[in-house]
Amino acid sequence: MNASPQAERPAERIDHRLAIAEETDRFADLLKGADLTTVVPSCPGWTLTDLVRHTGSVHRWFTVLLRQRVQTPPTSRDVELRLPADAAGYPDWLIESAAEAEQTFAGLDLDAPMWAWGVDQHARFWVRRMLFETLVHRTDAETALGMRPGIDRALAVDGVDEFLTNLPHAVRFAPKVANLRGADETIRFRCTDGAGDWVVRLQADSFGLVADPAAVATADATVQGTAAELLLLAYGRLERTAGSLQSSGDQELLARWFANSEF
C-alpha cells in the first residue's frame, strides 16, 4: 500500500544531488550578515545557529552513511563535525558540509543497496532525504528572517511524496506515528497548482499510501493546496487553515492525522 500515487514517481524527474547544492547555497546566503541568535519560530527552542548546525550535521552524518554503504542500522551517530570557531563561520561551514556530500555523490551508485529507515533500501534514499532536510530548514530560516519561503513546485511535489511514502516507517524516531490507525478511513492530499494527488488509508494495524488514488472517488477527508503549501503543511510549518489551503470532510480525522504525523 506504500506505492507512489504518481504514474511516474516525482523523484525520477529530479537531480537530488544538484538540488542539495542549490538549496544549501540559498540557505548559506540567508545566513550571511544575519543575526544567528534569531529565534526560529517553526523549531521551538532553536536559534538560527541551532538550525544551521543541525542541517550541516545531517549532511555530514548522511555522508558517512553513504561512504560506508551501511547495511544495518548504525549503532552510533558520532561524526566529526569540525564546527566553526565563531558564528560568522557557519555559512561557509554549511557549504563545506554540502561539498563533502557532493564529493561522495561523485562516486555514488544511487541504486546501490543500503540500509535505510524508509521504504527505499538504496543509496538514493539518503540523497533524497538530505535534500528535504536542507530544503525544509532553509524555509525555516526564511520564516525566522521575516521572509516568505519560496519552493520549486517540482521539489515540493517530490517532497510530499517522500514524506507520505516514508512516514509509516518513522515510528522509531516519531513514536506518535503509531497512533495513525483507523477503520479503513482515507485522507486525500491534492495539489491545486498542477498534478499531485495522494490518498492515505488508515487501517486497524497500519497505514500507507493507496497505490491508485484515482480509485478512491471520495475520501473521508481532503486537504487541498499548492504543492509548496502541502509540503509545509506535512512538516508542520503551516496550519491547515493557512494560505489557500482548504480542508473538507471528517475534521476529527484530519485533527488526528496532524496531531500524530509530526516528523
Digit-coded pLDDT (tens) for 199-257: 999 999 999 999 999 999 999 999 999 999 999 999 999 999 887 899 999 999 999 99
Instruction: Tell me whether residue 252 is in a domain.
Output: yes
Q: For the segment 100-112, what is each residue's pLDDT rounded down to a tens digit? A: 999 999 999 999 9
Q: For the segment 139-151, what is each residue's pLDDT rounded down to a tens digit? A: 999 999 999 999 9
Are 17 and 146 part of one and the same domain?
Answer: yes
Instruction: Tell me whether residue 5 is in a domain.
Output: no
**Residue 100 CA to its chain's centroid (Å):** 21
Instruction: Tell me whether residue 3 is in a domain.
Output: no
Largest CA distance in the chain: 57
- For cell 514517481, name the residue: 9
Number of domains in the chain: 2
Separation of alpha carbons 122 and 110, rounded Å? 7
Q: What is the DSSP letter of 11?
A: G
Are 16 and 143 part of one and the same domain?
Answer: yes
Instruction: Tell me whether residue 2 is in a domain.
Output: no
Are 130 and 192 part of one and the same domain?
Answer: no
Q: For the segment 12-67, what is each residue's pLDDT rounded down to a tens digit? A: 689 999 999 999 999 999 999 999 999 999 999 999 999 999 999 999 999 999 99
Kindly report the CATH number assigned to the domain that includes residue 138: 1.20.120.450
Output the nine-digit C-alpha cell for 8: 511516474
What pLDDT is attached to residue 13? 81
SS (H, E, C) 22-46: HHHHHHHHHHCCCCCCCECCCCCCC
Domain residues for the domain of 241 are 157-260
Kindly report the CATH number assigned to the domain that includes residue 181: 3.30.1050.10
- Percentage of the chain lying above the pLDDT 90 cut: 91
